[in-house]
Chain A
Amino acid sequence: MGIVSRHVPYDQAEETAHDAFIRAYQSLATFRGEDNFRHWLASIAVRTCYDFWRQRYRSKEVPMSSLTQEHQEWLENVISDTSDRAFGEYGSLKEAREVLDWALAKLSAEDRMVLELVYLEGLTVRQAAELLGWTTANVKVRSFRSRKKLQKLLSGPIGEGMIQ
């Protein structure tokens, strides 16, 4: 449930987790005893979330909000902060989540999943590849490109070159 909650909107998490469990049940034949069951189940949950976003983007149901003055100020505050403290506390602000949702909505389903797994969760390329069922080379390339896209997206509201 934790995996699904992180990857899909709050109001869709229950339904997506339901789908993940049904898919896991139907794929029980593919589970080999020597595999880690939690890892196997996590992989199914991540792929179900990926399919959720693919369907969403295909039907153009992803809301394309725009950044407000508060969001731009939040970004500028993060960048102009010269202290060495942890920047995690900026993430607890409402604006942080809204900026993140705005940026992720501008990416494709593939870029979104890779960015969330590698850039935001801090998984290795290999771990992300195993969860998604992709090759490591594919994840590596997508990770690089999606990070560049994110930097470009966030640089837009506060000026080119601020986030490099």
Chain B
Amino acid sequence: MKDNTTKVREALSAAYREKDTVRVGELWETRVMGHIRSLGAPASPANFSALFSRFVWRAAPIASLLIVALTVALVNLDYTPEYELTATFMTDPIESTVEQLWGR
């Protein structure tokens, strides 16, 4: 024999399923389609190339200016690159010391 929970569930499920489905007419369809037409084209999915051109290329002029400014600054500051120090050690390893290089 079925327990009380099963009985109630079966009866309520049947009541739920028996609910009438609303029949829509052409007028409803016309109204929905009219609304959709008024919205215009749907938003397209964002693709990578579009995002790239939108954000990365916009930053390109600023990045170029920064590169030029940093180059000028490095030249004016008389910056000695590390490879020049290395070259000094390599060409004259016996005479040159770190102390001599730094003037101590």
State in angstroms the CA–CA spacing of A119 and B9 once bound together. Answer: 8
State in angstroms the CA–CA spacing of A6 and B13 once bound together. Answer: 11
Given A91-B14, A96-B11, A163-B5, decide whether A5 and B43 contact each other with a Cβ distance below 8 A: no
Given A79-B8, A87-B11, decide whether A14 and B19 contact each other with a Cβ distance below 8 A: no
A5 & B16 in contact (Cβ 8 Å cutoff): no
Chain B interface residue count, CB cutoff 8 Å, equals 34
Interface of chain A: mostly helix, strand, loop or mixed: helix
Which single member of A25, A91, A151, A154 contacts B36 (CB below 8 Å)?
A: A25
Give chain A nearest CB distance to B95 CB in angstroms: 71
B21 & A2 in contact (Cβ 8 Å cutoff): yes
> How many of chain A's residues touch chain B, expressed as a range?
35 or more
Interface of chain B: mostly helix, strand, loop or mixed: helix
In the complex, chain B residues whose CB is within 8 Å of the CB of A151: 5
B39 & A26 in contact (Cβ 8 Å cutoff): yes
A67-103 vs B, CB cutoff 8 Å, 1 = contact: the mask equals 0000000010011011010111111110011011000
Report if B28 contacts A (CB, 8 A).
Answer: yes
Which single member of A4, A18, A91 contacts B13 (CB below 8 Å)?
A: A91
B4 & A5 in contact (Cβ 8 Å cutoff): no
Given A5-B20, A5-B21, A84-B1, decide whether A90 and B31 contact each other with a Cβ distance below 8 A: no
In the complex, chain B residues whose CB is within 8 Å of the CB of A28: 42
Interface residues of A (CB under 8 A from B): 1-2, 4-6, 10, 13-14, 17-18, 21-22, 25-26, 28-30, 75, 78-79, 81-82, 84, 86-93, 96-97, 99-100, 116, 119-122, 151, 154, 162-164
Interface residues of B (CB under 8 A from A): 1-24, 28, 31-32, 35-36, 39, 42-45
A-B contacts, 7 listed (Cβ < 8 Å): A18-B35, A91-B16, A92-B14, A96-B12, A97-B18, A97-B19, A151-B5
Besides A81-B7, A91-B10, A97-B18, 8 more A-B contacts (Cβ < 8 Å) are: A5-B22, A79-B4, A90-B11, A91-B12, A91-B14, A92-B14, A120-B13, A154-B8
